[in-house]
């Protein structure tokens, strides 16, 4: 299997490193730990050991019921995203690289040449894994674990690290849809940090709750439990996602940038109706239109759309201006709309027929007035002369602003 990223330095030692010690127990094809036989997670542990993700201790134990520690779990995550080739060289799984966003791929290509999936030869054994997790943004700039990477992890901590990991190659669940899980988790109020991490992994079925309706927010996570959930990070088939009843809720199923489907729950039927109306009038645009997640993008033509996709082939191009003429965003979390209009000459004209259907619903009799203002502000934004401006149309507050590069006019339509 061809690798997109290769290890360029070092000799790969065919030995698994200890998670919490600098020495390691050798694993063989005949895996046998003195304390895992008959354990509920025996199969998951054995599978992860065979893949080189987990290892036991020099005394022949795995200690499945011991709490997993930060440094141990970081190593588990990184090892689970990698595999050995036929020559015994460990590298990132193609399954991971092919799904990862361009920012992650670039970091791996240019900032990970010294990372070889091995413990530090001297000093703190986990330092290479902590540094790599930081490079990949699994650990934030001001990580909650920074002062103690040997601390035991509770389920909230693990949810945070798993959520950060999957964000590299998988889009987050939509805000309102994700919040439908709140009523299923009795102890969510115990979360000390961001409850959104718990909701994400719960909705995606990577970590679910207990029969009593709790998530076990403060419960320590054992090494066995860590082994069991590792198989769900890349493999969706192993997950058990929460699927709430949506029959009475305004929602839609849309495609995402990762090529999968995503459920959007609108804050009310008004936004859903506006969204459906715009979708049903896309054929009035003489350009090329694409519905992506919670936004509808309008392009000059199909060729421009694919050129826009190619921007993400390299990190440099990914930061270049988007190539759409117009983007209409349905911000379901804030119950507001955003419109981004290119300042290129006549960018709006091919799509006025479609956009007017949207504006007529939002601004009613003020729709023509709004459109006239928007065109004037596009000219000002193109010349870099537009300061942030507030106005009202049909009693709705609207904010107009330009961008530093003068490529777009940004419009925020706030809720009544």
What is the full DSSP assignment across 173-240? Answer: PPHHHHHTTGGG-TTGGG-SS-HHHHHHHHHHTSS---TTS---TTPBPBHHHHHHHHHHHH-GGG--
What domain range is 383 assigned to? 251-413
Number of domains in the chain: 2
Residue 317, pLDDT score: 60
Q: Examine the domain organization and report whether 292 and 191 are in the same domain.
A: no
Q: Examine the domain organization and report whether 76 and 202 are in the same domain.
A: yes
Residue 113 has pLDDT above 70, yes or no: yes
Could you say which of 203, 238, 273 is where a domain stops? 238
Q: Examine the domain organization and report whether 223 and 262 are in the same domain.
A: no
How would residue 7 be classed by pLDDT, with cut points 50, 70 and 90? Answer: very low
Encode burial over 94-115: b for 16+ CB neighbours within 10 A, e otherwise.
Answer: eebbebbbbebbebbeeebeeb
Contact 324, 299 (CB under 8 A): yes
Residue 308 has pLDDT above 90, yes or no: no
Q: Examine the domain organization and report whether 273 and 229 are in the same domain.
A: no
Q: Examine the domain organization and report whether 206 and 306 are in the same domain.
A: no
- Residue 26, judged by CB atoms within 10 A of its CB (0-12, 13-18, 19+), counts as exposed
Distance CA 1, CA 52 (A): 18
Mean pLDDT, to the nearest integer, of 305-313? 80
Q: Examine the domain organization and report whether 267 and 177 are in the same domain.
A: no
Could you say which of 238, 260, 275 is where a domain stops? 238
Residue 190 has pLDDT above 70, yes or no: yes
Distance CA 66, CA 192 (A): 23
Query: For the whole prediction, is pTM greater than 0.75?
Result: yes
Cβ-based neighbour number of residue 151 at 10 Å = 14
Mean pLDDT, to the nearest integer, of 78-104? 90
Distance CA 113, CA 92 (A): 12
Q: Which helix (H) or strand (E) holds 295?
A: strand 295-299
Residue 269, pLDDT score: 97
Evaluate whether residue 80 is within a structural domain. yes
Could you say which of 238, 259, 291 is where a domain stops? 238
Contact 33, 61 (CB under 8 A): yes
Evaluate whether residue 21 is within a structural domain. no
**Shortest CA distance to 16 belongs to which of 5, 27, 6, 7?**
27
Q: Examine the domain organization and report whether 226 and 256 are in the same domain.
A: no
């Amino acid at each position: 299997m061809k690798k997109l990223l290769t290890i360029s330095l070092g000799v790969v030692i065919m030995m698994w490193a200890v998670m919490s010690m600098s020495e390691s127990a050798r694993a063989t094809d005949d895996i046998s730990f003195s304390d895992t036989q008959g354990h509920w997670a025996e199969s998951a542990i054995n599978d992860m050991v065979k893949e080189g993700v987990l290892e036991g201790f020099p005394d022949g134990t795995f200690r499945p019921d011991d709490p997993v520690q930060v440094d141990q779990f970081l190593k588990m995550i990184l090892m689970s995203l990698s595999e050995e080739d036929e020559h015994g060289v460990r590298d990132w799984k193609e399954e991971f690289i092919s799904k990862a966003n361009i920012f992650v791929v670039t970091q791996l290509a240019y900032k990970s040449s010294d990372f070889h999936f091995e413990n530090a030869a001297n000093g703190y054994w986990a330092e290479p894994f902590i540094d790599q997790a930081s490079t990949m943004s699994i650990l934030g700039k001001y990580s909650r674990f920074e002062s103690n990477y040997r601390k035991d992890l509770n389920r909230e901590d693990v949810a945070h690290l798993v959520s950060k990991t999957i964000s590299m190659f998988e889009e987050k669940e939509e805000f309102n849809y994700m919040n439908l899980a709140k009523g299923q988790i009795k102890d969510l109020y115990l979360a000390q940090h961001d409850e959104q991490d718990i909701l994400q992994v719960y909705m995606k079925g990577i970590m679910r709750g207990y029969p009593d309706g709790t998530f076990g927010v403060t419960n320590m996570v054992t090494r066995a439990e860590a082994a069991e959930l590792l198989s769900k990070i890349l493999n969706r088939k192993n997950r058990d996602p929460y699927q709430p009843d949506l029959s009475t809720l305004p929602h839609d199923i849309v495609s995402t940038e990762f090529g999968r489907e995503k459920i959007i729950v609108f804050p009310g039927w008004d936004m859903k109706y506006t969204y459906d109306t715009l979708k049903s009038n896309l054929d009035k645009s003489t350009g090329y239109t694409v519905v992506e997640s919670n936004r509808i993008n309008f392009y000059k033509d199909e060729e421009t759309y694919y050129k826009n996709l190619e921007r993400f082939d390299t990190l440099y191009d990914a930061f270049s201006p988007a190539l759409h003429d117009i983007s209409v965003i349905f911000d379901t979390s804030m119950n507001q709309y955003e419109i981004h209009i290119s300042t290129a000459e006549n960018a709006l004209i091919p799509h006025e027929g479609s956009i007017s259907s949207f504006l007529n619903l939002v601004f009613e009799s003020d729709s023509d007035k709004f459109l006239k203002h928007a065109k004037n502000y596009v000219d000002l934004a193109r010349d870099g002369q537009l300061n942030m401006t507030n106005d009202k149309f049909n009693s709705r507050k609207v904010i107009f602003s330009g961008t530093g590069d003068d490529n777009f006019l940004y419009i925020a339509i706030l809720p009544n």
